[in-house]
């Protein structure tokens, strides 16, 4: 009798262990193999002169980091470009996305079609968007410039550092605004009707309404949208490669492109991993701080 109970107990524990393995095992295995192990390995490789080809890897201590921080002006420029680009893209994409959401929550007749149109650029691969816009900037703008005589369209868009920078920003805003619009619209639809009505009865003007009612109520959407745009812009690669290739003269090279080139074109895998770790620290810190900061601003309704 007693043995039977013990046996039953053991069977139960065994079956529980099997369940754990069946349910969690595959997810854990792929996660470790693809994400965790390579990430941990990068801590080791960042301290070596690994070139990706030979099996001989020499430990070089912190010399990669020293070189990046003190000597590598290209990396510093890439960081500077990425920071400026991120700031501009985040601000303008959210401003446009939020405005579109305000506009398309009004009872417009063409509302549904317009939502589709504004979202459309987002379903296209960043790489293809970059190619599309390289044609627009080179041939399309020139044609419009000739036709209308407006100086804006006659600029050498991908030819100078500052116009190429704004070129990147324009395409990013065009790509991201529709996605943000969808999130802002969802948040605006969830606003409690009574609150809006009450504010109207109290005689709140449009501006007052926007500042005191709408913006605080959609704060959770701001948290999400800022997080998304920050991390997308920081990690920009596809669009950068296909639109400007980092040019002219490396002036629009993003950090992601710089890391890619260092590792896979210059074959300096060790140096590349060191850069990628610095990149990780910056991205993780900035996005975490942003989420903490905007979360604090969210109000409970």
Partner 1 sequence: MMEQTQRYNARLLAMEIAAVLLALLFLVPFYFVVINSLKSFGDLMRNAAGWPEAFRWDNYARVWEIMKFPRAFMNSLLITVLSNAGLVLISAMAAYRILRRPTVFNRVLFVLFIAAMVIPFQSIMIPLVKVASEVGLMDSRFGLIICYFGFGVSLNLFLYHGFMKSIPLEIEEAAVVDGCTPYGVFWRIVFPLLKPMTITILILNSLWIWNDFLLPLLVLHSADIRTIPLQTYSFFGQYTKQWDLALAGLVLGVAPMVAFFLLMQKHIIAGISAGAVKG
Sites for partner 1 among residues 29-58 (CB under 8 A) = 30-31, 33-39, 41-42, 45, 52
Nearer to partner 1, 242 or 252 (CB): 242
What's the closest the beta carbon of residue 2 comes to partner 1, in angstroms?
26
Nearer to partner 1, 3 or 214 (CB): 214
What's the closest the beta carbon of residue 103 comes to partner 1, in angstroms?
5
What six digits make up the tokens of 46?
A: 């960042």
Quick check: helix, strand or coil at residue 48?
Answer: strand
Task: Decide: is 19 part of the binding site for partner 1 (CB under 8 A).
Answer: yes
Give the separation between CA 92 and CA 102, rounded to whole angstroms: 15
Quick check: helix, strand or coil at residue 59?
Answer: strand
What's the closest the beta carbon of residue 284 comes to partner 1, in angstroms?
5
What's the closest the beta carbon of residue 213 comes to partner 1, in angstroms?
19
Task: Decide: is 172 part of the binding site for partner 1 (CB under 8 A).
Answer: no
Site for partner 1 in 140-159 (CB under 8 A): 140, 142-144, 147
Residues 6+ apart with CB under 8 A from 218: 184, 187, 188, 191
> Are the CB atoms for 112 and 259 separated by under 8 Å?
no
Stretch binding partner 1 (CB under 8 A), from 5-13, 74-82, 196-204, 274-282: 274-282
Q: What string marks each residue from 198 to 237 as x (binds partner 1 by CB under 8 A) or -?
A: ----------------------xx--xx-xx--x--xx-x
Considering only 14, 23, 95, 210, the residue that binds partner 1 (CB under 8 A) is: 23
> Are the CB atoms for 243 and 171 separated by under 8 Å?
yes
Site for partner 1 in 233-272 (CB under 8 A): 234-235, 237-238, 242, 255-256, 259-260, 263-264, 269, 272
Q: How many residues bind partner 1 (CB under 8 A)?
A: 91
User: Which residue in 41, 47, 44, 43 sits closest to 68, CA to CA?
Assistant: 47
What's the closest the beta carbon of residue 73 comes to partner 1, in angstroms?
20
* Number of alpha carbons in the 13 Å side-chain half-sphere of residue 148: 11
User: Which residue in 115, 117, 93, 134 sits closest to 252, CA to CA?
Assistant: 134
Site for partner 1 in 76-135 (CB under 8 A): 100, 103-104, 106-110, 113-128, 131-133, 135
User: Which residue in 67, 84, 87 sits closest to 75, CA to CA?
Assistant: 67
Burial 202-214 (b: 16+ CB within 10 A, else e): eebeeeeeeeebb
């Amino acid at each position: 009798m007693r043995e039977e109970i013990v046996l039953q107990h053991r069977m139960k524990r065994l079956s529980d262990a099997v369940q754990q393995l069946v349910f969690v095992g595959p997810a854990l295995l792929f996660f470790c193999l693809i994400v965790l192990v390579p990430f941990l390995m990068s801590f080791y490789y960042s301290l070596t002169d690994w070139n990706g080809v030979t099996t001989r890897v020499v430990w070089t201590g912190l010399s990669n980091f020293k070189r990046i921080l003190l000597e590598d002006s290209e990396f510093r420029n890439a960081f500077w470009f990425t920071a400026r680009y991120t700031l501009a893209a985040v601000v303008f994409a959210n401003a446009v996305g939020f405005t579109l959401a305000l506009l398309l929550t009004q009872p417009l007749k063409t509302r549904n079609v317009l939502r589709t149109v504004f979202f459309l650029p987002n379903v296209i691969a960043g790489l293809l968007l970059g190619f599309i816009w390289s044609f627009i900037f080179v041939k399309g703008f020139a044609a419009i410039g000739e036709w209308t005589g407006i100086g804006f369209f006659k600029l050498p868009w991908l030819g100078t550092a500052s116009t190429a920078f704004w070129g990147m920003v324009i395409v990013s805003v065009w790509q991201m605004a529709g996605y943000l619009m969808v999130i802002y619209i969802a948040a605006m639809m969830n606003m409690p009707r009574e609150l809006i009505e009450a504010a109207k009865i109290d005689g709140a003007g449009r501006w007052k309404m926007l500042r005191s009612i709408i913006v605080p109520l959609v704060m959770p959407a701001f948290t999400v949208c800022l997080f998304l745009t920050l991390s997308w812009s920081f990690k920009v690669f596809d669009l950068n490669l296909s639109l400007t290739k980092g040019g002219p003269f490396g002036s629009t090279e993003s950090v992601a492109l710089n890391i890619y080139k260092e590792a896979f074109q210059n074959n300096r895998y060790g140096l590349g991993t060191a850069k990628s770790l610095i990149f990780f620290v910056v991205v993780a810190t900035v996005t975490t701080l942003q989420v903490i900061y905007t979360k604090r601003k969210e109000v409970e309704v």
